Amino acid sequence: MSEQTVYLEGAYIPLSEAKIPVMDHGLLYGDGIFEGIRAYGGRVFKLEEHMRRFQTAARAINLTLPLPIGEITEIVLETCRRNTIVDGYIRLVCTRGADGLGLFPKPGAHPPRLFCIAGQVALYSEEAYKRGLKVITSHLRRNKATIVNPQIKSLNYLNNIMANIEAHRYGADEALMLNEDGLVAECTGDNIFIIQDGVISTPPIWVGTLNGITRQAVIEIARSLGYTVQEVPFTHFDVLNADEAFLTGTAAEIIALTELDGQLIDSGVAGKITLELLDAFREYTKQSKNGAKI
C-alpha cells in the first residue's frame, strides 16, 4: 500500500516527510484555523460551504490565507485525487506560520502555513448507530461566544479536548457542554438535537454553538420530510426528557444520544426519527449538487 500524500506549502509530499517547525504559531499558541470535510462517492461534500467558512474564519482572526480560496479548493480536490479518495475525510489547516517565540508575529516572519490531509475516518461502528452514544455532562462550560466566537474553527480546541477526555474518563463516548447560563450548547465535536412530540429542536448559535455544516444539512433534510425544526435554547432537563436525541457532525454524520449521565433517553436505543434522518442524510450526500467532483 502506497504512503499517504499530504499537501504542505506548495508541494505534495509523503506523509512521513511532512514536517512543521517547532516555532510555528499553530503549535506554540493554537494560532490558526481548520476544516474537517467529508468525501462521499467521489465527491467532496459541501466543499463550497467549507471553503466559505474557512475564509471567514481566517478573516475573523486577521489571518491572510497564502493562496486565493479557489486555489485552496483545488488543493483539497487534488489531495483527494493523489490519495485515491472515494469515501474519506479531509483536514485542511492554515497556521499563522510566524516562526519564533512571542505572541505578535515579527516583521518578516514566515507567512501563513497551509496543509491538507486526506484519508479515511470511521468514528463509530454501524452497531453504534443503532445503539446510540453514552454521554456525560461535562463540568467544563463552553467558551463564551464573546471571547472566541465558536464559528471560528481555531486550532485552540483545548476546551473541547478537556471535556472529551472527561467523557472517556467516565466511560462515555461524548460530553455535553453547557454555556455559562446553563443552557445546552453542543457536544465536544458535534451539534445536538432533541425531539419531543415530533418537533425537532437544536440550540441557536447565540448560545455558543458552531453552526455546523452537517447541522445545516440536517435542518434542511428534516424540513423537507415535513418535520418542524426550531432553533431554541433548552436545558439538560429537556435532553433527559426528550423522546429522542441525536448528534450531528462531519465525522459522526447523525448518531443517537441514548444515555445521558447514566439515565436512558426514552427506550435507550436510536429512535425512529433519528434513523429516518440518518438514512435521508446518507442519500443526501449522494446527490451531485451537494458535492464537488474529485
Active site residues: 153
The pair phi, psi for residue 268, each rounded to 5°, is 85, 15
What one-letter code names the amino acid at 228? T
| Strands (DSSP E) found in the chain | 5-8, 11-14, 32-40, 43-45, 88-95, 113-119, 133-137, 174-178, 184-187, 191-196, 199-202, 229-231, 244-249, 253-260, 263-264, 291-293
Contacts of 201 (CB under 8 A, 6+ apart): 193, 194, 195, 229, 230, 231, 232, 234, 238
Q: Give me 231's grid cell.
A: 432553533
Q: How many CA atoms lie within 13 A of 7 on its CB side?
A: 25
